[in-house]
A and B are shown apart, each in its own frame.
Chain A
């Protein structure tokens, strides 16, 4: 190889690397903010309430997933506003990024690090003991033996999904409600990856639907990842082809493809994590409701506990309907469409779950 070429290649690769890092390291509102700056200078922040710096490592869906990564960041922003905490987000483009991202934040002097997503469980279990002075919050992570500086933050998504199942199970019978509801007693579920947190949505949704409509057929399909919108769209199309008229997708960013399918073929959609009526532009015509997971609250509460010195590690905490950690979003454009029978059934189911009369199963064994 001649030297001219070698120089070119080095330049080229360096450019590629910088372009990648620029994306990887940027936080939403302060793109020029370098990790190392914060680490070395320990600046005094505007509000003197706290000198805590908190950060998060996203799952591969990354920021902008309009789902749990964005929600975690929203929790950090809440902490920034209300507690004067300095915040930061590092994105993981692939699973191999988890470890280096955590190391980078730990070495940059962050006090609290949130690792977002079930897939980061093992990495968090590995890293928490290595950095005992840092608090680790693991979103969607059940740690068998959490370290004293580690807290698993889990959600009983199945409880809220159960309510969504009640809505879908009754809606698919009510052909007068909307002309997109067909005669078939079939509803659909699109999951991202077949992993426990997604399984909870599938199981809750199915149980809820069957509780009000025992003969309903719930068909569940999996995309295989959380980013492939074209694939998620195909899955939803095949569900609609099969006769499904209400589809609930718990597939992160990929789920947006399922919304497109519902709009094209005329079916109703139930969103996930955030109130997707608000986060996905132009989805109002199919968005019946969303299964909301208050990841932002869990993140905020944890940071608050650290700031106030009340943080207790070595635990796995669950947020359910009772803790307001999960819930059902408003019906928005369907407010006047959804009949009282459905809203009453949802209220009844919620009351039963809160009183303990119903315990919603979280794994397929419960089906």
Chain B
């Protein structure tokens, strides 16, 4: 039975399911590092997923879809930035409003563009980068099956997410931009006094997080499913927020935490396969990823310290 649970596909599935979480979580990290809370990731993902499908339909090219998904996510983020930086609104309220707006807006536009609610027609999708099919017997065949499933069976955005995590980690700790970003979130006044524009820095961070949220949406709609469904993000934006915290506000950590959540989800699917052997109701398995989220956030992994100035509007004194 263990042989059937621990398969190459378990890990491939974990990576697939981690990708939208990771992209959104890294977006959350960059946003919160600048001192702006972003609970609107869910909405930015949703709008990105929708814009991607619509653009892919109009242009017949999934990559143009991805571009529009990123732009749409960034645009939603701009609203959040305007409300929480320029107008100094409560960032949680603004984020909630954007989530509601995203749900309504995508549903409404779907009626306008497609003339019916629910789900859109299938569009051009992004396909796996390498299209080998693992074959071969014996030990090396087995190894090749594992290596192929885990490393080479994925769609482009899955690889992009890994690159973004690495680049983000490097940028946050090794570049001037990263240093300034962290300063904005820890002590904006200090940053201001040495001549860093708090407004500009925060704006760019929020917009980047929206772009990443949009990319996460594109992964869901243009890679995994190939169409858009109302509320297709299904709470992933909030899990991403938890992954960001679990990852201690670092891009690498966010990716790792997302991978753990993705793995929990992949594992619960595999465990469900053996419901007749392990006689536990299916609801128990479905609960696993969420229980993990709660346990993680309750502090099993140690205290996570948020950027000191996060959530506080900055007023130039």
* B175 interface residue (CB < 8 Å to A): no
- Across the A-B interface, give the 4 residue pairs with the lowest CB-CB distance, nearest first: A64-B118, A19-B104, A20-B104, A23-B107
B:67-121 near A, CB below 8 Å: 83, 87-90, 93-94, 97-98, 100-101, 103-105, 107-108, 110-111, 116-119, 121
* A237 interface residue (CB < 8 Å to B): yes
* B129 interface residue (CB < 8 Å to A): no
Residue contact B230 to A26, C-beta cutoff 8 Å: no
Query: What interface size band does chain B fall in?
Result: 35 or more
Q: Which residues of A contact B16 (CB under 8 A)?
A: 234
* A179 interface residue (CB < 8 Å to B): no
What are 7 A-B contacts defined by CB distance under 8 Å? A9-B89, A20-B100, A221-B272, A227-B234, A229-B227, A239-B273, A257-B225
Residue contact B4 to A242, C-beta cutoff 8 Å: yes
* B282 interface residue (CB < 8 Å to A): yes
A159-191 vs B, CB cutoff 8 Å, 1 = contact: the mask equals 000000000000000000000000000000001
CB contact under 8 A between A260 and B89, given known A23-B117, A234-B13: no
B:238-265 near A, CB below 8 Å: 265
**Contact among B13, B226, B283 with A260 in the assembled complex (CB-CB below 8 Å):** B226
Q: Which residues of B contact A18 (CB under 8 A)?
A: 104
Instruction: Please name the residue on chain B nearest to A67 by beta carbon.
Output: B118
Give the distance in Å from the alpha carbon of A191 to the alpha carbon of B88 in the complex. Answer: 46
Q: Which residues of B contact A13 (CB under 8 A)?
A: 97, 100
Residue contact B116 to A28, C-beta cutoff 8 Å: yes
- Interface secondary structure of B, over-half rule: helix
Residue contact B104 to A237, C-beta cutoff 8 Å: no
Q: Which residues of A contact B275 (CB under 8 A)?
A: 220
Residue contact A64 to B108, C-beta cutoff 8 Å: no
**Contact among A1, A241, A253 with B7 in the assembled complex (CB-CB below 8 Å):** A241
**Contact among A21, A64, A70, A230 with B232 in the assembled complex (CB-CB below 8 Å):** A230
* B64 interface residue (CB < 8 Å to A): no
A contact residues vs B (CB 8 Å cutoff)? 1-2, 4-5, 8-9, 12-13, 15-23, 26, 28, 31, 61-66, 70, 91, 93, 191, 194, 219-222, 224-225, 227-231, 233-235, 237-239, 241-242, 253, 256-257, 260, 281-282
**Contact among B17, B107, B226, B273 with A234 in the assembled complex (CB-CB below 8 Å):** B17
**Contact among B87, B98, B226, B273 with A238 in the assembled complex (CB-CB below 8 Å):** B273
**Contact among B108, B234, B270 with A225 in the assembled complex (CB-CB below 8 Å):** B234
Instruction: Please name the residue on chain B nearest to A244 by beta carbon.
Output: B273
Q: Which residues of B contact A63 (CB under 8 A)?
A: 116-118
Query: Smallest Cβ distance from A238 to chain B, in angstroms?
Result: 5
B contact residues vs A (CB 8 Å cutoff)? 4, 7, 9, 13, 16-17, 20, 83, 87-90, 93-94, 97-98, 100-101, 103-105, 107-108, 110-111, 116-119, 121-122, 220, 224-227, 229-232, 234, 265-266, 269-270, 272-273, 275, 281-283, 286
Q: Which residues of A contact B270 (CB under 8 A)?
A: 238
Residue contact B269 to A229, C-beta cutoff 8 Å: no
Q: A70-B118, A227-B232, A229-B119 are in contact. List 14 more A-B contacts (CB 8 A).
A: A1-B89, A4-B87, A5-B89, A8-B89, A17-B104, A19-B104, A20-B107, A61-B118, A64-B116, A64-B117, A221-B273, A231-B234, A234-B13, A238-B273
Q: Which residues of B contact A253 (CB under 8 A)?
A: 118-119, 229
Query: Smallest Cβ distance from A27 to chain B, in angstroms?
Result: 10
Give the distance in Å from the alpha carbon of A20 to the alpha carbon of B110 in the complex. Answer: 12
CB contact under 8 A between A23 and B104, given known A4-B87, A8-B87, A9-B89: yes
Instruction: Please name the residue on chain B nearest to A5 by beta carbon.
Output: B87
Q: Which residues of B contact A9 (CB under 8 A)?
A: 83, 89, 93-94, 97
Give the distance in Å from the alpha carbon of A239 to the alpha carbon of B97 in the complex. Answer: 39
CB contact under 8 A between A64 and B121, given known A20-B104, A22-B104: no
Query: Smallest Cβ distance from B237 to chain A, in angstroms?
Result: 14
Residue contact A194 to B282, C-beta cutoff 8 Å: yes
Instruction: Please name the residue on chain B nearest to A225 by beta carbon.
Output: B234
Give the distance in Å from the alpha carbon of A62 to the alpha carbon of B9 in the complex. Answer: 33
Give the distance in Å from the alpha carbon of A145 to the alpha carbon of B190 in the complex. Answer: 69
Residue contact A26 to B111, C-beta cutoff 8 Å: yes
Query: Smallest Cβ distance from B277 to chain A, in angstroms?
Result: 11
Query: Smallest Cβ distance from B311 to chain A, in angstroms?
Result: 15
**Contact among A8, A70, A260 with B225 in the assembled complex (CB-CB below 8 Å):** A260
Give the distance in Å from the alpha carbon of A224 to the alpha carbon of B108 in the complex. Answer: 26
Instruction: Please name the residue on chain B nearest to A283 by beta carbon.
Output: B122
Give the distance in Å from the alpha carbon of A239 to the alpha carbon of B275 in the complex. Answer: 13
Q: Which residues of A contact B282 (CB under 8 A)?
A: 191, 194, 221-222
Give the distance in Å from the alpha carbon of A31 to the alpha carbon of B117 in the complex. Answer: 12
Residue contact A238 to B13, C-beta cutoff 8 Å: yes
**Contact among B108, B118, B281 with A62 in the assembled complex (CB-CB below 8 Å):** B118
Give the distance in Å from the alpha carbon of A161 to the alpha carbon of B220 in the complex. Answer: 31
Give the distance in Å from the alpha carbon of A219 to the alpha carbon of B271 in the complex. Answer: 11
Instruction: Please name the residue on chain A nearest to B283 by beta carbon.
Output: A194
Instruction: Please name the residue on chain A nearest to B269 by beta carbon.
Output: A238
Residue contact B234 to A228, C-beta cutoff 8 Å: yes
Give the distance in Å from the alpha carbon of A17 to the alpha carbon of B104 in the complex. Answer: 8
Residue contact A234 to B266, C-beta cutoff 8 Å: yes
Instruction: Please name the residue on chain A nearest to B107 by beta carbon.
Output: A23
Give the distance in Å from the alpha carbon of A18 to the alpha carbon of B104 in the complex. Answer: 8
Residue contact A23 to B273, C-beta cutoff 8 Å: no
